[in-house]
Every structure is written in structure tokens, then in C-alpha cells.
Amino acid sequence: MRSSVNRPAAVAAVVVAVVVTAVVGFALSNSRGAAGPSSASVVGTAGRTAPPVNYVAMGSSFAAGPGEGPVVDRRCLRTGDNYPHQVAARLGMRLIDVTCSGSTAAELVTGPVRKHGKIRPQVEAVDHNTRLVTITTGGNDIDFVGRIIAQACNNMRALGLAHCGSGRMPPPPPGPADFGRLEQSLVNAVEAVRARSPLARVVLVDYTPVVAIDAPPCQLLPLLPWEVEQDAQIAAEMSAVNQRVADRTGAQHVTTASLAPLHSACAAEPWIRGYGNKMVFHPNAAGKTGIADLVAAAVR
């Protein structure tokens, strides 16, 4: 991959208008070292006399919703206004939320091993009472947000403006083998859910859109045009992986691909927090609600 550090003139043409604020939580926002779920966030439905109809939410930070909103699990940076909480409230279901920032698709079934020990796999939250499972994951398997952060940071460093504190170069773009492993991990997760609850409806939910190929550059996404195009292609392939998994397993796929021009970081109504914000390039409040709208409409 070409380095933007040696192209200050090109970078300046794209991001000269950027006004940089301190970036809080850059390393934390995409860290594979973030702690896993020590316990699920369980939201009940008061007054029920019948057995609860359970909804289990699985996935990484784009489902956990870190960065804003009330924190309900500090180890996983899970918030009480994330899209699973909103979906559960709309559908009147009992939510068992095991989403965890930093987790991967492979860890849904195997569980991560981190400094505090092995964490229980998210799929273990599924039982015979589970009727809905949403899965939003995959970005950490291919370092999706991490590469965008590195690109933005290095572009700003080339102008002497970055406050990222890191000179990390973006990783190479993921290839067919990487996406193949991601696809198989998701198939394994869906099959594990079905083994624990054959009646559960499984919904694969895309990431909130971060970049759009045709969107003009802006101060919230200080990338070069070729970087935007490359990252948009990676996001599109992640969505394609979800569709292939849905085709193979009979799961449902809620796609966000067509929403990128409307709600990516540089759009008029972004669903993503851009550069300079806490938990950068992750869903904002509007994004959490927007994804909840899509999921609730799809499963009603």
C-alpha cells in the first residue's frame, strides 16, 4: 500500500480544512485487547406472566454502541441505547445483550482469551426460549475500522496536525482468504445458534456505513480519494459476506449498503462519529436508532 506520509501536497488538497480536536479513545475504539463480556446485559419486560420471549444480541462494537449513551457494561463498552436495546423495546422482547467491543466473528462461538482469562462465548446466551438473534460483527476480523483510523491519522500527521499519538501504518487490504475465513466464522456462529435454539430467527446486520465512494471529502473523514474507494469496497465485501452466509444458512440479512451516501461520515445526516470524536468511526445516536429502525422493520 502506498504511504500518504510522503504525499503532503495531495493530502493537503483533501483535508486542508480540517480542524482537529483531541481524539479520545482511538486505541480503545478498535482494540482487540478490550475486555470481553463478563455478564450479559439483560433487559426484561415487566408484568409478564407467560415465559419470556428472548432476544439475544451478539456482535462487536457496532452492535455494542460505545462512545455515547448510558454505559451498562464497562468491560465491553456496551451502552443502553444501542440498537439491540431499541429493537427489544419496540418488539416487547426480553433482551440478553452479549455484544462486546473488540470481539471477532470467530469468538462468537469460541470465546476470546484476554488478560482476565477466557470469556464465555456469546452464543452461550442462546437457549430454547430464544426466538430472535441479531449478529453484527466482522470488522475486527479484518481490521476494518483500524485501517481507517490509521489512514486518517497518518494523513493528518503528514500535515503536522495529528494528535493520534501513533504512527501505525494501515494494514494491507483484506483479500479473498480473509473474507473466506470471516464467512466461515459467521456460518459457524449461525449453526451454533440453531443447534441451541432451532426456532430462533437469526438476522445478520451490516455495519453502519462509514464511507461512501461518491461523497466529497470532509473534515470528519480526512482520507485520500483512493483510500475512500478502497474502504468502501471493503465495506461492500463485508455486506456481501453477510448475504452469502444468509444464503447458505437461511438466516436473514439486513443490509445498509444503499445507505452509505445518506449516512456515512461526510453525509448531511451522518450515522457515524467522524475524526476528532470519542470512539471515532463508530455509530452515533442517530446511527443506533437508524439501525434499530431497519432491524425492527425487517423482523416484524
Catalytic residues: 61, 282
Number of Cα atoms under 13 Å in the Cβ half of residue 152: 29
CA distances from 116 to 33, 36, 37, 111 (A): 10, 9, 11, 13
256 CB-near residues (< 8 Å, 6+ apart): 206, 207, 208, 209, 239, 291, 294
The helix/strand/coil state of 114 is: strand
Residue 263 and residue 39: Cα distance in Å, rounded? 32
Extended beta strands in the chain, E state:
41-43, 54-59, 71-73, 78-79, 94-97, 113-114, 117-118, 130-136, 201-205, 252-254
Contact 235, 259 (CB under 8 A): no
C-alpha grid cell for residue 23? Answer: 481524539
